[in-house]
Chain A
Amino acid sequence: MKAAITALQEVYGLFVEDGSYAAAIVIWLAIVCFVFPHLPGGGAWRGPLFFAGMAVILVESVVRAARAKSRC
C-alpha cells in the first residue's frame, strides 16, 4: 500500500511541481475546452489565444518564483 502511494506521488510529481502554476494551467485548459467553443466569431483566433494564455501563465509563474527567491 505504501509503495503504491509512493508510486502515485511520483507519477503526480511528473506533472505537478508548483501547485498554483499547475492549477492555472488546468483552469486555462478548462476555459479553452468548455468556453471557447461557445464564443462567437470564426475559430482562427482560438489557437493563438490559447497559446497566449499559456505564455502569460508561464511568464507570471517564473517572475513570481524569482521574486520569492529574492525575498529569501
Chain B
Amino acid sequence: MAAIKLDGLTKVYPGGVRAVDDLTLTIPDGEFFALLGPSGCGKTTLLRTIAGLEEATSGSVRIGDRDVTHLPPGKRELAMVFQDYALFPHMTVVDNISYPLKIKGLAKDDRLGRAVKAGDELSLDGLMQRRPAELSGGQQQRVALARAIATHPQVFLFDEPLSNLDARLRLEARTFLKRLQRDLGVTTVFVTHDQAEALAMADRMAVMDAGRIRQVGTAREVFQRPASTFVANFIGSTPMNLLSGVVRGQAVNVSGQIVQLPGDARQHVTDGQDVVVGVRPEYLSLSQSAADGALRGVVAIVENLGTASLVTLESDGFTVAATVADGEEPAIGTDAWALPIPGRTLVYRREDGELVDAPVVAAVA
C-alpha cells in the first residue's frame, strides 16, 4: 500500500502540446481517486505517466517512499487495467492472470495458486480454461481485474474502466469496483470522462482541463461548490445555471431581475463588478406565484428525468432551469418563479470564471 505523490509533473509531446502541465497532487494511501475531465484534458496522459507508459518531461512521480519517475512500468509495483482490457487473446483466462506472475519470477505453483485465488474472488471459477473471446464484456473486465489483483500491486490504475460495458452492466460494475477497492484497500486512480461515474465511485477527484487540475475535492465538495464555471459546467447531470449579471448593492442584477448575493460573497465583490451567478437546477425551488428574490420566467420546456422533471424558464436575456418533483410540473407557457435555496448560490468573477472568494491569480502568458 502506498500513497502517490506527483510534484511539478509535466508531459510535453513532441510538437509542443503540454498534455500535463506542472501538476502537483498527493493521493493518500488507500484512496479511490478519479481523474475527471473532457476529452483531451490530459487525464489519460497523466494516468499513463504515472504508469510509466509515458516518460515525464519534468517533475516527479513517487509511489510510497520510492521515486519511480525514471523506472519502467514493470518496476513501479502498479497494475493497470486498460480501457479495452488488453487481455491476451491467445491465452486462456488462467494464463492471462498468471502470466504477469511468471514474468515476476514466481514459481509455477505460486502462480497458479494466486491466479485461482484472484479468479475465485472475481467469480471466474469455471471460466478459467476459456479464451477471452469466449467471454462477455463484463467477464473480460473481471479477468483484467483479476490479472491486476493477482500481482499484489501497491497501486491500481484504471483507464476508463466502465466505458466498454453496456449501460446496465456499468451500474453493477460501478458498485462492484467500489466494493472491490474498499475490500483490497489499494490506492486506486481511475480516469473517466463521466462525471456521474466519478461522483458515484471516487473518494476524491481531480477535475482537469488543458493539462491542469481545476479542482480537487470530494464528490460533495466538487458538486456543491465548483471552484470555477468550468467545473460547474462539467459536474452534474443537469448543467448548472450560470447567469451573467452585475453587482448592485446586496444583490446581482441579472438582465433586470435581482438575485440576492450570498452573505459570504458580498465582501469579495465591488459594486458594479461583472459576475456570474451559479445555481444548480436542484437548488432552485419553483413556484407559480411571485416570490421575493426569485427569477421570473415563462415555462418553455419540461424534460422528464424519471423521478423529477427539468423545467426551463425563459426570460428576457437568460434562461434558467429548475428541477421539480414529478407531478408538480407547471404548464408550458405559464409564468413561474425560481427561488434559490439559501446558501446554494455561488458567485463567480466573470473575467476568470473563478469563485469570487478565490485569490486572484495573474494570468499566465
Whether A associates with B in a native complex is: no
| Chain A residues proximal to chain B, CB less than 8 Å | none
| Chain B residues proximal to chain A, CB less than 8 Å | none
